[in-house]
Structure 1
Amino acid sequence: MSTELTNTDGGVQVHLTQRLPDFLQRVNLKYVKLGYHYLVSHISTLFLVPLMAVIIVQASQLNSDDIHQLWLHLHYNLVSLVVFSVVFVLGSTVYIMTRPRSVYLVDYSCYRPPSHLQAKFHKFMEHSKLIGDFDDSALEFQRKILERSGLGEETYIPEALHRIPPRISMVAAREEAEQAMFGALDKLFASTNVKPSDIGILVVNCSLFNPTPSLSAMIVNKYKLRGNIRSFNLGGMGCSASVIAVDLAKDMLQVHRNTCAVVVSTENITQNWYFGKKKSMLIPNCLFRVGGAAVLLSNKPADRRRAKYKLVHVVRTHRGADDTAYRCVYQEQDEAGITGVSLSKDLMAIAGGALKTNITTLGPLVLPISEQLIFFATLVAKKLLNAKVKPYIPDFKLAFDHFCIHAGGRAVIDELEKNLQLLPVHVEASRMTLHRFGNISSSSIWYELAYIEAKGRMRKRNRVWQIAFGSGFKCNSAVWVALRNVKPSPNSPWEDCIDRYPVEIVA
């Protein structure tokens, strides 16, 4: 809003510019929309109150004869009443026995590597000159990606890549995996006081490193987990694999009663650093960093009292039937036979399509009826009446209090902020995670949740949307509700730096 002051006949006259009416119109529309959502959300109450008033008035007019007649009616229909009661009890019992079991997130932990593994920009570029067969064009390309990526100076790369020459071996890759997984699990077991022998289900996901024995077997061996544990090892499923792992654990918790599940999400860089010159395969070098998370889930009713969150929905979208989507994140060899992961220029468009499909399924599950009515009316107008109306983008801010968008890169966060019409505070956790830890693949959504907790923003009944994209191509969502005012767990990855955030990201 702006004004223009001019002097007229010794007085001051205020001329409002054209921006003032536009501002007032936006304000009016805002309050009209808020009023509409409030009315639709409470419409049942508006109808119920008059109905209850009529019932109370009618009941107050009953005399003793009317009440006596009602008792006689019930007395003569005693058989019907008993049959109804038996059916009701049996039906309730069947429902309680067969309904989906609640899945609680008791706690989780995120691995924070030691400070000597930090990848300062100048150190990263010096190592690139020394350890790779990069020409000036490839080096300049990496420098520009680093500057524009949204990453800060404190992200981490594995020990093997700090060596000159790099120690690219199976032993080094196992060490990286052990440090991330065991570092997260040690903190999880310490903060929850859960014994490893209490774990009945284990799900591990890591896309690019799948040794034999598996990573899940590595954890079983380290912590001496019990012999009848249900263990799973997910590979090649990309940055959205943590949501897939949670979904698998949830399904297992529907089958096995009174047990706990642990989900471990990580990625491995040591054997997957690209040393060639193909630019589309150099991008992962600049974005991916070391990280890992361990999550404790439970279906025990007793764990509800100490749990942080309850799982509400998981929605998974797979676009792998489309060839372009299938190859947009693709591990392959370049012309020189050097292996790396190639990122297609169509990646953002494909991610947008996958997101649209995902929220089309998720929307009816989480959006208030007011938003669903607007969306349905817009769809009818467009499809049946051939009206030239823009597709209506539901306001997911009415459904969720917090957003954990996979920190895959600056462009990914920008695109979702724009398409979902989010505010800067809604993507703050994602941007700051990208800045502090880089793209830590599937574990990023847990570092983002830890950021929100560290800022003291998670209140009871707040709803959280975790959304991640992965190779294949996949878009997966998990929805959680906070069971209490959540405080950060001990040894949070943000413990030593949360006061410095948020920081300004230079464009």
Structure 2
Amino acid sequence: MSRHSAQHAYINAIGTAVPPHDIHNAFIGWARDRLTDPRSAKLFDRMAARAGIGHRWSVLPVGADGGSPVDPGGFYADAILPGTAARMELYADAAPTLGLAAIEALRAQVDLGGITHVVVASCTGFVAPGIDQLIARRLGLTPSVERLLIGFMGCYAAVAALRTARHLVRSEPAARVLVLCVELSTLHLQDTPEIEPLLAMLQFGDGAAAALVTADPSGFRLGQPFATTLDDTHDLIRWAITDQGFAMHLSGEVPGRIAQALVDPAFAVAATGGRAPQEIDGWAVHAGGRSILDAVQHGLTLPPAALDASRAVLAENGNMSSATLMFVLARLLAGPPIQDGVALAFGPGLAAEGFAFASVP
């Protein structure tokens, strides 16, 4: 029998990686050029300036003469943007590479020998064999390693991936689960003259995060998960696969609906395990945008510094879909011990999912 207890699972460490190409300012200029109405352009400038994002990183190659992907010679330089096939060809090469960079950052912190399970979350591309299989092969893992690929769940997929790892470890105490979230959101730029989708696109960047989850008591203990969907919100966040990539619809109503849900006592009890929000000393909230973080902070009446980790990740990387929550957890893991933490993410549905966590004494 294993010496480990089957009662708890732990995030022992988290490694993160982003590509070297900062595309934030270039993409802002590209998007603004699509707005011909002066009032819309003025609103766009105001919203982009207060987005709380300083950098977004992309796997897209640097264009001619060191230019961005929207400059001459870049991936998005032509009047008609690349088709889905070209975008998926890039995904098939770049997603495993970026994922492996995050795994190497994880390996620098913990021993990755004896991996028994691999859980990968990604919603920004498709390839078969899947990136779970590609990564397992490149890592030289034994063919008996069990793999799971979580796709198209969006920004809360990290919760599903870590929740799955928790279930695996609690049922098999000797399991060593490698969890990876890798997202290449910048592969899906859409040419549109409408301000709402342009502003939504300007939040997303590329990133990957890897975690080791085991029964070894170090790092963060993974507590009780929770999941719910908000009534009459299923159309507010959508992805559609088109001939020119994946088109995202992110309604401006989302922050308001989140704030409305957070004042519901039943939702608050589910998210905090019955504790008052002010008693939680560690908040890992998916950095889906400044307005979403503001909605969470105001809806739960949190102190100003409660979401500092989430705001820092947003500023440095933008919204990296499922990888974002892992970046926030990595930042908290490197900080002071947390006695009562809550991880929370939102995504298509409109769904809210999360789990409790705490530092190992």
Q: Contact between 2:24 and 2:202, CA under 8 Å: does it hold in 1?
A: no
1:202 matches 2:118: yes
Q: CA deviation at 1:312?
A: 1.7
**What letter matches 1:288 in structure 2?**
F
Q: CA deviation at 1:358?
A: 3.7
**Aligned counterpart, 1:155:** 56
Mapped to 2, the partners of 1:177 and 1:149 lie a distance apart of: 26
Mapped to 1, the partners of 2:176 and 2:168 lie a distance apart of: 10
SS at match of 2:224: strand
Aligned residue among 349, 357, 360 for 1:480: 357
Aligned residue among 427, 432, 444 for 2:324: 444
**Aligned counterpart, 1:188:** 106
**Aligned counterpart, 2:48:** 146
Mapped to 1, the partners of 2:122 and 2:200 lie a distance apart of: 16
Instruction: Assess, with a 3 A threshold, how the Cα gap between structure 1 residues 254 and 204 changes in structure 2: closer, same or farther.
Output: same
1:397 matches 2:278: yes
Q: Relative contact order (C-alpha < 8 Å, sep 6+): which is higher? A: 2
**Aligned counterpart, 1:14:** none
> Based on CA coordinates, which of the two structures has the bigger radius of gyration?
1
**Aligned counterpart, 2:75:** 166
1:470 matches 2:347: yes
Aligned residue pairs total: 338
Deviations 1:443-484 (A, max 9, x none): 222322333355x4x22x622211111112211112111114
**What letter matches 1:477 in structure 2?**
G
Percent identity over paired residues: 20
1:178 matches 2:78: no
Q: Contact between 2:92 and 2:126, CA under 8 Å: does it hold in 1?
A: no
Q: CA deviation at 1:129?
A: 7.1
Show structure 1 runs of 5+ residues with no match: 1-96, 368-394, 485-507
**What letter matches 1:360 in structure 2?**
V
Which structure carries more helix by proportion? Answer: 1
Show structure 2 runs of 5+ residues with no match: 63-67, 77-81
**What letter matches 1:180 in structure 2?**
L
Q: CA deviation at 1:296?
A: 0.4
Q: CA deviation at 1:421?
A: 0.9
**Aligned counterpart, 2:153:** 237
**What letter matches 2:19 in structure 1?**
P
**What letter matches 2:23 in structure 1?**
A
Instruction: Assess, with a 3 A threshold, how the Cα gap between structure 1 residues 141 and 119 changes in structure 2: closer, same or farther.
Output: farther
Mapped to 1, the partners of 2:308 and 2:16 lie a distance apart of: 18
Residue pairs, 1:10-25, within 5 angstroms: none
SS at match of 1:431: helix
Which structure carries more strand by proportion? Answer: 2
Residue pairs, 1:86-485, within 5 angstroms: 101-114=7-20, 117-121=21-25, 123-128=26-31, 134-137=34-37, 142-152=44-54, 154-160=55-61, 162-163=68-69, 164-166=73-75, 168=82, 169=86, 170-195=88-113, 198-299=114-215, 303-304=216-217, 307-319=218-230, 322=231, 324-332=232-240, 340-352=247-259, 354-355=261-262, 356=264, 357-363=266-272, 365-367=273-275, 395-398=276-279, 400-454=280-334, 456=335, 458-459=336-337, 462-484=339-361
Instruction: Assess, with a 3 A threshold, how the Cα gap between structure 1 residues 441 and 421 changes in structure 2: closer, same or farther.
Output: same
For normalisation by structure 1, the TM-score amounts to 0.61
Q: Contact between 2:186 and 2:204, CA under 8 Å: does it hold in 1?
A: no
What's the RMSD between the two structures over aligned residues? Answer: 2.8
Q: CA deviation at 1:186?
A: 1.1
Mapped to 1, the partners of 2:46 and 2:136 lie a distance apart of: 43
SS at match of 1:426: coil
**What letter matches 2:357 in structure 1?**
W
Mapped to 1, the partners of 2:41 and 2:128 lie a distance apart of: 35
Deviations 1:160-192 (A, max 9, x none): 483334164233222331232111011112321
Instruction: Assess, with a 3 A threshold, how the Cα gap between structure 1 residues 142 and 223 changes in structure 2: closer, same or farther.
Output: farther
Q: Contact between 2:6 and 2:171, CA under 8 Å: does it hold in 1?
A: no
